[in-house]
Amino acid sequence: VTDTALLPSWRQGPTREAVLAFLDAADKLPPERRVAVLDNDGTLWCEKPQYTQVEFMLHELTRAVAERPELAERAEYRAILDRDRAALGQLGLPRVALALAQLHAGITPQEFEARARQFLTTELHPHRKVPYARLVYQPMLELLEALRAHGFATFVVSGGGVEFVRSVSLGLYAIAPEGVVGTAVTYELQRRDGKPVLVRTAQVLGGANEGPTKVANIQYHLGRGPIFAAGNSGGDREMLEYATAVQGPSLALLVDHDDAEREYAYVGKAATFTESESIGAVAKRLGWVVVSMARDWARIFPDE
Amino acid sequence: VTDTALLPSWRQGPTREAVLAFLDAADKLPPERRVAVLDNDGTLWCEKPQYTQVEFMLHELTRAVAERPELAERAEYRAILDRDRAALGQLGLPRVALALAQLHAGITPQEFEARARQFLTTELHPHRKVPYARLVYQPMLELLEALRAHGFATFVVSGGGVEFVRSVSLGLYAIAPEGVVGTAVTYELQRRDGKPVLVRTAQVLGGANEGPTKVANIQYHLGRGPIFAAGNSGGDREMLEYATAVQGPSLALLVDHDDAEREYAYVGKAATFTESESIGAVAKRLGWVVVSMARDWARIFPDE
Q: Say yes or no to pLDDT of B84 above 60.
A: yes
Q: Say yes or no to pLDDT of B89 above 60.
A: yes
Spatial contact of A44 and A137, defined as CB atoms under 8 Å apart = yes
φ, ψ for residue B148, nearest 5 deg? -65, -35
Q: Say yes or no to pLDDT of B269 above 60.
A: no
Closest CA to A208 of A73, A2, A45, A51: A51
Q: B242 and A109: CB-CB below 8 Å? A: no
Q: Say yes or no to pLDDT of A207 above 90.
A: no
- Within chain A, residue ranges assigned H as helices are 14-26, 52-67, 75-81, 85-91, 93-102, 109-122, 138-149, 162-173, 212-222, 237-244, 279-286, 293-296
Spatial contact of B165 and B47, defined as CB atoms under 8 Å apart = no
Query: Quick one: pLDDT at residue B162?
Result: 97
Instruction: List, for residues A128-148, the tens digit of each pLDDT value.
Output: 999 999 999 999 999 999 999
Q: Is B205 on the interface with A (CB under 8 A)?
A: yes
Query: Quick one: pLDDT at residue A281?
Result: 76
Question: From the CA of A120, how many Å to the nearest CA of chain B?
Answer: 18
Q: Say yes or no to pLDDT of B273 above 60.
A: no
Mutant choice from A162, A183, A189 vs B, greatest count of B C-beta within 10 A: A189
Query: Quick one: pLDDT at residue B129?
Result: 96
Averaged over B167-188, what is the pLDDT? Answer: 97
Q: Is A178 on the interface with B (CB under 8 A)?
A: yes
Question: From the CA of B4, how many Å to the nearest CA of chain A?
Answer: 30
Distance CA B150, CA B162 (A): 26
Q: Nearest by CB to B219, which of A179, A187, A241?
A: A187
Q: B187 and A221: CB-CB below 8 Å? A: no
Of the pLDDT bands very low, low, confident and very high (cuts 50, 70, 90), residue B283 is: confident
A112 compared with B270, residue with greater pLDDT: A112
A225: left (phi over 0), alpha (psi -120 to 50) or beta: beta
Query: Quick one: pLDDT at residue A202?
Result: 94
Query: Quick one: pLDDT at residue B220?
Result: 97
φ, ψ for residue A292, nearest 5 deg? -85, 115
Q: Is A180 on the interface with B (CB under 8 A)?
A: yes
Weakest-pLDDT range from A77-91, B26-40, B158-172: A77-91
Mutant choice from A113, A205, A219, A241 vs B, greatest count of B C-beta within 10 A: A219
Q: Say yes or no to pLDDT of B215 above 60.
A: yes
Describe the crossing of helices A279-286 and A237-244 by its angle, rounded to 10 degrees.
20
Weakest-pLDDT range from B98-102, B181-185, B233-237, B289-293: B233-237
CA closest to B200 among chain A residues? A216
Query: Quick one: pLDDT at residue B276?
Result: 64
Q: Say yes or no to pLDDT of B134 above 60.
A: yes
Q: Say yes or no to pLDDT of A152 above 90.
A: yes
Q: What is the DSSP string of B257-297?
A: EE-TTTS-EE--GGGSSSTTS-HHHHHHHHTPEEEEHHHHB
Query: Quick one: pLDDT at residue B278?
Result: 65
Question: Letter for the amino acid at B225?
Answer: G
Q: Is A165 on the interface with B (CB under 8 A)?
A: no
Averaged over B202-229, what is the pLDDT? Answer: 95
The mean pLDDT of chain B is: 93
Averaged over A270-296, what is the pLDDT? Answer: 77
- Asked whether the whole model's pTM tops 0.90, one would answer yes
Of the pLDDT bands very low, low, confident and very high (cuts 50, 70, 90), residue B284 is: confident
Query: Quick one: pLDDT at residue B194?
Result: 86
Highest mean pLDDT among A80-84, A113-117, A285-289, B53-57: A113-117
Q: Is A116 on the interface with B (CB under 8 A)?
A: no
Of the pLDDT bands very low, low, confident and very high (cuts 50, 70, 90), residue A177 is: very high
Share of chain A above pLDDT 70, in %: 95
CA closest to A164 among chain B residues? B223
Query: Quick one: pLDDT at residue B23?
Result: 98
A43: left (phi over 0), alpha (psi -120 to 50) or beta: alpha
Instruction: List, for residues B14-37, the tens digit of each pLDDT value.
Output: 999 999 999 999 999 999 999 999
Of the pLDDT bands very low, low, confident and very high (cuts 50, 70, 90), residue B234 is: confident
Of the pLDDT bands very low, low, confident and very high (cuts 50, 70, 90), residue B97 is: confident
Share of chain B above pLDDT 90, in %: 86
